[in-house]
Amino acid sequence: MIITMRETNIASIDLNLVPALEALLRLRNVTHAAADVGLSQPAMSRALARLRDLQRDPLLVRTRSGYILTPRALALQPELTAAVQHLRAVFQQQTFVPGLVRRTLRLAAADIQTIVVLPGILSRLAVEAPGVDLRVEPYSADILTRLDSGALDLAFALSNTPLPPGISSEVVGEDHLALVMRAGHPAADHAWTLADYGRHPHVTVALLGDGQSDIDALLAAAGVARRIALVTPYFMAALAAVAATDMVTTISAALATRFAAPFGLVLREPPFASIRLESTLVCSHVRAADPFLVWFRALVRDVAETVGLTACSPEPGPAGDDRPRTP
């Protein structure tokens, strides 16, 4: 005789009966099973009646020595136990242990992040998550696609960076702008005005784009045009160029302060209101709740605070924005 199995529509089944059935088969006692799953004895008796009807089998049979399982119940028990364990695993909050992680994290970053915060990140990873490898990748026009596809885990950006739906961001540090020139620069001995921006050649950093920034619109409104003599994707290249020429740059105060002495640089307050540069980590919302990425973002926040990413700007001075553009 061939027995065929008919597929059951799970949506038609009251899944609240599953823990009741598992307890009944495991404990073989209606009273004890009711206490185990938090039901009254009458409610468990009703559940058993429904289960018998669904299974077309008595499941538990009372004898003089207590309840015994029918052959059908005995066949169900191991499968039911495994199913309940799997369901518990699905809904159980997993404990995240950084030290047990083995993976490569792909992070889009510019040289400013690799210089200012990456050493501290690597020191922390070596102690707390030694199985994590870090791969720093360049920015590209398809960076959002890379984040969406999972080819890239995270990317540094600024908080004013426009983000499309599906991309989330979290602030991890704060910086300010500084006007940077070499010591001995002809204009290093006085506070700058917007007009001074039109008198000297500039270096700008553009990870993507042409190096134009909001300050160029501000200058245009004031009738001032500046010459951008060098556009580079590297913050260190901007500082090196300024150190060797009469060009100037408006750049991260945290980075410029770090290299002011070795490069022989002077930092001045830009001729516009102090601007906060909020550094963020962006990722796809699909992976934003990944426990490892949540942990890593917190680690970056800690490191940024430790290395003083929040830089004190010099003296405050009218409004504009020469922030390096990040995708």
Out of 12-16, 26-30, 214-218, 312-316, least confident range: 312-316
Domain count, the chain: 2
Same domain, 114 and 24: no
Q: Give the Cβ contact number of residue 165 at 10 Å.
A: 6
Same domain, 76 and 147: no
Question: Would residue 175 count as lying in a domain?
Answer: yes
Q: How far apart are CA 89 and CA 81, in angstroms?
A: 13
Whether residue 88 has pLDDT greater than 80: no
Question: Would residue 95 count as lying in a domain?
Answer: no
CB-based contacts of 226, cutoff 8 Å, min separation 6: 197, 198, 200, 202, 216, 219
pLDDT digits (tens, 9 = 90+) for 303-319: 998 887 753 433 333 33
CATH number reported for the structural domain that contains residue 272 in this entry: 3.40.190.290
Same domain, 185 and 117: yes
Average pLDDT over the chain, rounded to an integer: 85
Q: What is the pLDDT of residue 10?
A: 61
Question: Would residue 33 count as lying in a domain?
Answer: yes
Domain end, chosen from 56, 89, 122, is at: 89
pLDDT digits (tens, 9 = 90+) for 98-152: 999 999 999 999 999 999 999 999 999 999 999 999 999 999 889 989 998 889 9
- Spell out the long-range contacts of 42-51 with Cβ–Cβ below 8 A and sequence spacing 24 or more: 44/20, 47/17, 47/20, 47/21, 48/20, 48/24, 50/14, 50/17, 51/17, 51/20, 51/21, 51/24
Same domain, 114 and 236: yes
- How much of the chain, in percent, has pLDDT values that exceed 90? 46
Same domain, 18 and 160: no
Out of 9-13, 143-147, 186-190, 295-299, least confident range: 9-13
Q: How far apart are CA 309 and CA 292, in angstroms?
A: 23
Same domain, 109 and 256: yes
Q: Tokens for 47?
A: 């559940």
Whether residue 292 has pLDDT greater than 80: yes
Closest to 152 in 3D by CA, of 167, 137, 168, 162: 137
Question: Would residue 191 count as lying in a domain?
Answer: yes
Same domain, 32 and 108: no
Same domain, 219 and 111: yes
Closest to 155 in 3D by CA, of 143, 165, 166: 143
Measured in whole angstroms, the distance separating CA 205 from the mean position of its chain's CA atoms is 25
Q: What is the pLDDT of residue 93?
A: 67
Question: Would residue 149 count as lying in a domain?
Answer: yes
CATH number reported for the structural domain that contains residue 22 in this entry: 1.10.10.10
Instruction: Say which amino acid occupies 247.
Output: M
Domain end, chosen from 66, 89, 112, is at: 89
Question: Would residue 318 count as lying in a domain?
Answer: no
Span 280-297, average pLDDT: 92
Q: Residue 114 belongs to what domain range?
A: 100-306
Same domain, 216 and 280: yes
Question: Would residue 2 count as lying in a domain?
Answer: no
